[in-house]
Structure 1
Amino acid sequence: MSKPKVASDWMAGCAGCHMSLLDMDERIVKIAELVDLRSTPITDLKHPDETGVDVGILEGGINNTSNEEVAKMMRKRCKILVALGDCAVFGGVPAMRNFFTIEETLRRAYVETESTDAEGKIPDDPELARPTRVRAVHEVVPVDIFVPGCPPDADTIFYVLSELAQGRKPVLKDDKLHWH
């Protein structure tokens, strides 16, 4: 039996979930023995295999059209989709932006900040992703497994990946749900 293929990506968030994944320390070797780690933000491969993967993991909320494309591609190319961390599960800290209009947030970020020069302007180029309301992953594509936490701890991520690698759906309760 071949090892299940796993791909991950991050969107609107701080990358803390991938850092927590790396916090597994030597257990990451065990995960590498159980799965074929494909595309991730921490590898050279940046997109899930066109032929598909068994498990797709998304970290971060969806806050622009590029994030929407990432989520849709991952969903299309994976059998099981995992929303990893509070930003992916709930929208997290990035969703605080939803209390303001997109125009207000862009103006603050590019024109009004203390570090902006006198000619600060909001970027307007068709090559740039268009900002949207911040959403959890499940608001854009169906999600199979939700792993909350900010970030989820390394033990929980190890458990989830180990269970998925062995063909089991992880059950997150009791000591597997930690809030930091």
Structure 2
Amino acid sequence: MAKPKVASDWLAGCAGCHMSLLDIDERIAQLVELVDLRATPITDLKEPDKDGVTVGILEGGINNTYNEEVAKKMRSRCKILVALGDCAVFGGVPAMRNFFTLEDSLNRAYIETPSTDASGKVPSSPELAVPTRVRAIHEVVPVDVFIPGCPPDADIIFFALSELAQGRIPKLEHKNLMWN
């Protein structure tokens, strides 16, 4: 029987969840014995297989039209979608932007910061994604598994991926979400 295919991507976040995935250390060798690790930010393949994957993992919230496209593509190409980390599950730190207008947020980021030079301006190009309100993944596409944490502990990620690799939906109960 073929190993289940796993793909991942990150959206609006810090990439800490993928760093926590790498923190499973030598257990990553155990994981690749169970799964075919496909497109990820840490591999050369950057999009989930056109013929689909078993498990799709998204980290980060959705804060622009490009993130929406990535989430919809991942959802359409995977059987089980995992929201990994607080940004994916709740909107996380990026969702703090929702308390302000987009214009105020962009002005603060590109014009008002102490490190911005005198010619600072908000980038504008038809090639840039259109910013949106920051949303959790489930606000845009259906999610099957939620793994909270900022970032989730490596042991929790390993447990969840091991369960998924063996065809089981992980039961992330209170004891599973606690650090040792």
Query: TM > 0.5 between the two?
Result: yes
Deviations 1:58-98 (A, max 9, x none): 00000111111110000010000000000000000110110
- With normalisation by structure 2, the TM-score equals 0.98
Which residue of structure 1 aligns with residue 139 of structure 2? Answer: 139
Inter-CA distance 78–123: structure 2 relative to 1 (3 Å threshold)? same
Q: Which structure 1 residue ranges, 5 or more long, are not aligned?
A: none
Equivalent residue number for residue 92 of structure 2: 92
Contact 1:64 1:131 in 2 (8 A): yes
Q: 1:106 matched to which residue of 2?
A: 106
Which blocks of at least 5 consecutive residues in structure 2 are unaligned? none
TM-score, normalization by structure 1 = 0.98
Distance in 2 between residues matched to 1:178 and 1:51, nearest whole Å: 36
Please show how residues 26-105 of structure 1 align to structure 2 within 5 Å: 26-105=26-105
Q: CA RMSD in A?
A: 1.1
Instruction: Provide the residue aligned with 1:12 in structure 2.
Output: 12
- Equivalenced residue count is 180
**Shift, 1:129, TM fit:** 0.8
Cα separation, 2, equivalents of 1:155 and 1:173 = 14
Query: How far 1:174 moved relative to its partner?
Result: 2.9
Show CA shifts across 1:143-172 (max 9, x none).
000000111101100011100100011000
- Contact 1:149–1:178 at 8 Å: present in 2 too? no
The match for 1:115 is 115
d(CA) in 2 for partners of 1:106 and 1:174? 38
**Which amino acid letter does the alignment assign opposite residue 138 of structure 2?**
H
Alpha-carbon distance in 2 for matches of 1:63, 1:78: 22
The CA deviation string for residues 10-55 of structure 1, in whole angstroms up to 9 with x for no partner, is 0111111101111101111000000000000011101000110000
Report the identity percentage: 78
The offset of 1:178, in angstroms, is: 2.7
